[in-house]
Amino acid sequence: MKIIKIVYLILGLVLVSGLFTFNASAAEFRINQKMGNVVIGQDEVVKNLYTTGNMISINGDVKKSLYVGGNVITINGDIEGNVFVGGNTIVIRGDVGDSVHAGGSNILIEGNISEDLFI
CB 19 within 8 A of CB 12: no
Q: Is position 9 within any domain?
A: no
Rounded-to-integer distance, Cα 8 and Cα 79, Å: 41
- Tell me, yes or no, whether 103 lies in a domain: yes
The predicted pLDDT at position 4 comes to 62
What are residue 89's DSSP bridge partners?
A: 72, 106
pTM greater than the 0.85 cutoff = no
Classify residue 96 by its DSSP letter. Answer: B
The answer to whether residue 106 sits within a structural domain is yes
Range of the domain at 35: 27-118
Residue 15 lies in a domain: no
Residues ≥6 apart with Cβ < 8 Å to 9: none
Residue 111 lies in a domain: yes
One digit per residue, pLDDT tens: the chain, 119 residues?
666 656 555 555 555 555 444 444 467 777 666 677 888 889 988 989 998 888 999 999 999 999 998 899 999 999 999 999 999 999 999 999 999 999 989 999 999 999 999 98
Within-domain flag for 10: no
- Report if residue 104 sits inside a domain: yes
Number of domains observed in the structure of the chain: 1
Q: Which long-range contacts (CB under 8 A, 24 or more apart) does 82-89 make?
A: 87/56
DSSP of 4-52: HHHHHHHHHHHHHHHHHHHHHTTEEEE---GGG-EEE-TT-EESEEEEE
106 backbone dihedrals φ, ψ, rounded to 5°: -120, 115
Q: Tell me if 32 is assigned to some domain.
A: yes
